[in-house]
């Protein structure tokens, strides 16, 4: 339910900033990060805006980070640089429904529990601590390709829930 509720609207929002491929990757990252931090989500800190806005803010932040990284590396311009704006952000469902938010948090916990210990470690180190995959490989004493495989598996599990 959680992934089905939020993946589509978040992707539409991110596409206002990024290419379709980058938008999908950003949304995957946001949902993985949300799953990893479900225990930390505090509805009282979002001042009645709920889980939808919390996810939207995270998505916006990740999109901006992606744009900055692209600029630094001299990659192709994003849709934002081409004059499009994300002001017509997709409305996320469930923002006023506390029951849906509770169910979404339970689904996040279930997703997090479905990951192997190594997959959770990679997701946490990459999304919480901002470590690049090569640093994670060094820290976990495995090859970079192994880290990519753990991340790929985590994303695949996320996509199965969408």
pLDDT tens track for 145-160 = 999 999 999 888 877 7
What confidence tens digit (pLDDT) does each residue in 41-97 have? 666 665 545 677 778 778 888 888 888 887 777 654 444 444 344 433 444 444 455
Q: What percent of the chain has pLDDT over 90?
A: 15
Domain 115-162: CATH architecture, name and number where available: Orthogonal Bundle (1.10)
Give CATH 1.10.10.10 domain extents, the chain: 115-162
- Please report which residue ranges of the chain form alpha helices under DSSP H: 2-15, 20-36, 50-72, 98-114, 117-127, 133-140, 144-161
Reduced to 3 states (helix: H, G, I; strand: E, B; else coil), residue 145 is helix
Could you give phi then psi for residue 33, rounded to 5 degrees? -65, -40
User: Alpha carbon of 86 to those of 13, 29, 81, 106: distances in Å?
Assistant: 7, 19, 11, 30
Residues 6+ apart with CB under 8 A from 12: 90
CA dihedral (125, 7, 62, 155) positive or negative: positive
**What pTM did the predictor assign?**
0.51
For residue 85, what are its two tokens? 């704006």
Higher pLDDT, 81 or 141: 141
Reduced to 3 states (helix: H, G, I; strand: E, B; else coil), residue 90 is coil
CA angle 56, 65, 153 (to 5 degrees): 75
pLDDT of residue 57: 78
Integer Cα distance of 19 and 40 in angstroms: 30
Residues 6+ apart with CB under 8 A from 96: 50
């Amino acid at each position: 339910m959680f992934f089905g509720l939020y993946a589509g609207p978040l992707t539409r929002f991110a596409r206002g900033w990024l290419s379709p491929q980058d938008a999908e990757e950003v949304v995957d990252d946001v949902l993985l990060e949300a799953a990893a931090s479900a225990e930390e989500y505090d509805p009282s800190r979002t001042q009645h805006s709920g889980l939808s806005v919390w996810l939207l803010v995270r998505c916006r932040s990740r999109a901006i980070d992606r744009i900055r990284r692209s600029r630094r590396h001299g990659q192709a311009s994003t849709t934002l640089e081409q004059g499009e704006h994300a002001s017509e952000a997709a409305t996320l469902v469930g923002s006023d429904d506390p029951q849906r938010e509770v169910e979404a948090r339970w689904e996040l916990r279930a997703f997090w529990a479905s990951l192997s210990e190594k997959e959770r470690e990679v997701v946490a180190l990459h999304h919480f601590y901002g470590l690049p995959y090569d640093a994670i490989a060094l820290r976990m004493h495995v090859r970079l390709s192994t880290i990519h495989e753990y991340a790929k598996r985590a994303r695949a599990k996320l996509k199965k829930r969408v």
